[in-house]
Amino acid sequence: MARHLITSALPYINGIKHLGNMVGSMLPADVYSRYLRQRGHDVLYICATDEHGTPAELAAKEQGIPVAEFCAQAHDAQKAVYDGFALAFDYFGRSSSPQNVEITQHFARRLKENGFIEERAIRQVYSQADGRFLPDRYVEGTCPHCGYDKARGDQCENCTRVLDPTDLINPRSAISGSTDLEVRETKHLFLLQSKLQHEVEEWVARHENDWPHLASSIARKWLNEGLHDRAITRDLDWGVPVPADTWPELAAEGKVFYVWFDAPIEYIGATKEWSDLDPENRDWKSWWYEADETVRYTEFMAKDNVPFHTVMFPATELGVREPWKKVDYVKAFNWLTYYGGKFSTSQKRGVFTDQALDILPADYWRYFLIANAPESDDSSFTWEHFTATVNKDLADTLGNFVNRVLSFSKKRFGEEVPAGGEPGEAETRLGEEIARLLAEYEEHMESLQFRKAAAALRALWSAGNSYLEEKAPWLEIKTDKDAAALTLRTAMNLIHLYAVVSEPFIPATSATMRTAFSLTDTASDQKRAAWITEAEAKSLTTLTPGIPFTVPPVLFAKLTDEDLETYKERFGGEPA
């Protein structure tokens, strides 16, 4: 079996994330990780909070607390939400960790030794009102490319173009709002990406045909425009410090590394955190340094993160001249919008992840988001669509099937899997259909096509309902009790199958379906979580007569028109 290294884009420390952030990185990475584990692969899923940079300092200043304290509190708050969504990270670290400081400084020293970092005097924005140089994100203004009036000095979040603060029209300080700005000379470190352009192009060329079009097109666009040398240090109080043994003057001035230099390195840093905390964990270097060919590295991210992961971070790794593992597959996502507009905390528009869990259990959100993941293009969240999906797919197709099968069987045969009847033509057809749909589901999961995988999963659930309607055990029981027993036993085996194959999408519900059946011996306990083979899918005989079962509570409650209106009133409906 392959070893799978999986990372999702680091959520920034400044505030709880909205649903678009969840579906654009962490949730699909979790779904994929869970699937691979069920198939028997060795999986390491790593993530962390991205804690350096301007917004963290600004948020801490606004709250009147030290930035280190702010980040510690915000990390714990975010981790609680991700636990609530049942994200099964192997480790969720912090980019401010000593491990990340150590490895980031090591990378910088090696890049200097290899001639890919140099010190340059540059002209930088200085704020008279604030009495300091302003790092790029401390400068806001109008994007010269698209006209967006809240562009930051490093990147326009509207058109995703990378910027310098001096590119902005009508610039202002993000700290004070002052426009009393001037340009002064100061010194910074530059990563000489221009010297690495050819190597990055060759590396991308070896991979881009395997990546989704979104990822490969963004990488190719950057390369076609030419890689520019970029400053990788900033004038901030919070960040990975420039090492004094290598750049004493800059260290004395308090320079720190640019957040986009150290943040991707935190994937490695967090893995070392994981290993350091538990000596029984596999040595972290076996995943990252001279990793053998069985390690496959997959990254999950929204499209605005793609340039840094397909160009800038690979350039850094190439320039270090050490055998660090580079990404094999970049799964990029478009935007999830809210009624076609942006999620906005200030305008109280859209659903944020902590609010989502206050309303409904995680499985409602997990299924809907993955079933509507913005893979080929942007997708829009609406309460109408969410309500319809929950009611049709989760409550009716899956939940109602489980409830009526188990409730009817308990009423007619007691609380054990019923005996009687021999599989016939209907069961043969069903088994072949289930095996076909299962293969389709596996194919889409293997290729990371999540919307298609969700459609195949939904089709598996629907097949059970079609079988039940065809056999009609509520009629069979009147004339042929053994036939009704066979139908219900087959349907219970479908429930067991659904519990296994649905686990990546709806883990809590899957656990409820599994534990409805009292499988107590070791072999059966293992069978609960093991992936369904083609033979098992065709035969549908894993659960044998006599196994005790219980009827679980309603798996998914239907959402009413009143619920819909309440949600729209609380979170905003269509934008004006």
Residue with tokens 């992840």: 353
Cα end-to-end distance, the chain, whole Å: 53
> Which residues are within 8 A (CB) of 342 and not within 5 positions of it... i.e. 6 or more apart?
349, 350
Beta-carbon neighbour count of residue 340 at 10 Å? 11
CA separation for the pair 360, 363 (Å, rounded): 8
Annotated ligand binding at 544? The verdict is no
Helix (H, G, I), strand (E, B) or coil at 275: helix
Q: Annotation-wise, does 47 bind a ligand? A: no
Which class for 467: exposed (0-12), middle (13-18), buried (19 or more C-beta within 10 A)?
Answer: buried
Half-sphere exposure of 319 (CA within 13 A, CB side): 31
CB 51 within 8 A of CB 95: yes
Beta-carbon contacts of residue 226 (< 8 Å; ≥ 6 apart):
194, 197
Phi-psi category of residue 559: left, alpha or beta, with phi > 0 → left and psi -120 to 50 → alpha = beta
Beta bridge partners of 228: none
Largest CA distance in the chain: 92
User: How long is the chain?
Assistant: 576
Q: Do residues 303 and 214 lie in contact, with contact meaning Cβ atoms separated by under 8 Å?
A: yes
Query: In DSSP terms, which residues pair with 122 in a beta bridge?
Result: 186
Phi, psi of 458 (to 5 degrees): -60, -40
Side-chain half-sphere of 493: how many Cα atoms within 13 Å? 23
Residue 247 tokens, joined: 């750049």
146 is known to lie in a ligand binding site: yes
The closest of 24, 8, 5 to 353, measured between CA atoms, is 24
For residues 388 and 396, give the distance between their C-alpha atoms in angstroms, rounded to a whole number: 11
232: which residues sit within 8 A by CB, 6+ positions away? 108, 117, 188, 189, 190, 191, 257, 258, 261
Please check if 156 is assigned to a binding site: yes
Question: Which positions ≥6 away from 285 have C-beta within 8 Å?
Answer: none
Work out whether the CA dihedral 172, 177, 183, 185 comes out positive or negative.
negative
Pairing of strands 230-231, 139-142: unpaired
- Helix (H), strand (E) at residue 255: none
Query: Residues annotated as binding site?
Result: 143, 146, 156, 159, 345
Query: Residues annotated as binding site for Zn(2+)?
Result: 143, 146, 156, 159
Query: Residues annotated as binding site for ATP?
Result: 345
